[in-house]
Amino acid sequence: MKELKYLFFPILIAIFGVLNSCENIKNSKYITIGMVDGWAEDVAMTHVAKAVLDEQGYHVIIQKASTDMILASMNNEDTDLFMGVWLPYTHAKKVAKFPGLINLGTNYDNGRIGLVVPEYVPINSIEELNQHQDQFNHRIIGIEKGAGLTSGTDKAIIDYQLDYKQINSSTIAMITELQNAIKRKEWIVVAGWQPHWMFGKMKLKFLEDPKKTFGEAEQIKTYSRKSFVKDHPELAKFFSKVHFDDENMADLLTKMEDSKDKEATAKKWVEDHSELVKLWLDKN
């Protein structure tokens, strides 16, 4: 019994040491931000936030994962932040699973999702798709399975009784198919969203959505784990002030898409927008 007691205390001390170490990490200068690689606006905003916080002496770790995995990780207090939550439509059901997460603020106000075609395609509404099934090969080119836009597209197929199949792989694959179709002046319809650099690089248009299956204007928000505000009140205030208008967002996305070094481009963008960044860092 005495031997068990002597064995128990070292184990207990070790456990307390690990817990204390975890607590110190949460309250340290190490910050983890979840990011969905391939989402142009999320990649851009996350790298800008990292560039700003690096200058403030923080060590920012970007964790690449799906939306579901990031939200679950934040719910477990393992990831600090996620800057890519689209509300009130796209991610509403995903966020509702984790009511403990904290909404820190809105990064962008004019988000939109829906079905997108090249401007040369002579239709303007989702309702017209069934009149041109053969031209589109009965296909809607989607993005990753599990994305809010993907489930919205599935719902649109039902709501509009479309004789189409959604083809899912990745955002990069969708954009590649779109670019190739435009080069050949072929008809193509994709699941798309704005803000995105592709609207600056290609002449595209959203199809009207009279049934409002995809909702209306969306906001992109930053969410955090439950204890983040208590652990980092100064950073919670910073992220509550991070906001991009249409002009800033378009400029950032274009520069990031043309860049082979996202971190360097984000750092340069922060330097060029010092007055805006100063507002974000204002502690008042």
- Tell me the per-residue pLDDT of 225-250, one tens digit each, with 9 for 90 and over: 999 999 999 999 999 999 999 999 99
Phi/psi at 200 (5° precision): -85, -25
Mean per-residue pLDDT, 195-202: 91
User: Tens of pLDDT along 108-119?
Assistant: 999 999 999 999
Q: What is the pLDDT of residue 27?
A: 55
Determine which helix (DSSP H) or strand (DSSP E) holds 157, and give its type and residue range: helix 148-159
Q: Which amino acid is at 39?
A: W
pLDDT band at 10 (very low <50, low <70, confident <90, very high): very low
What DSSP string describes 70-119?
HHHHHHTTS--EEEEEEETTTTHHHHHT-TT-EEEEEEEEEEEEEEEEET
Query: For the chain, which domains are there?
Result: 2-110+219-281 (3.40.190.10), 112-206 (3.40.190.100)
**Using one digit for the tens of pLDDT, what is the confidence trace for 147-182?**
889 999 999 999 999 999 999 999 999 999 999 999
pLDDT tens digit string along 40-95? 999 999 999 999 999 999 999 999 999 999 999 999 999 999 999 999 999 999 99
Distances in whole angstroms, Cα of residue 61 to Cα of each of 46, 49, 79:
10, 11, 10
CB atoms within 10 A of CB 261: 9
Read out DSSP for 269-283?
A: HHHHTHHHHHHHH--
Angle between helices 233-241 and 274-281 (to 10 degrees): 140
User: Which of 1, 178, 2, 144 lies closest to 68 in space, CA to CA?
Assistant: 144
The pLDDT, as a whole number, for residue 159 is 98
Residues near 29 by beta carbon (within 8 Å), at least 6 away in sequence: 57, 58, 59
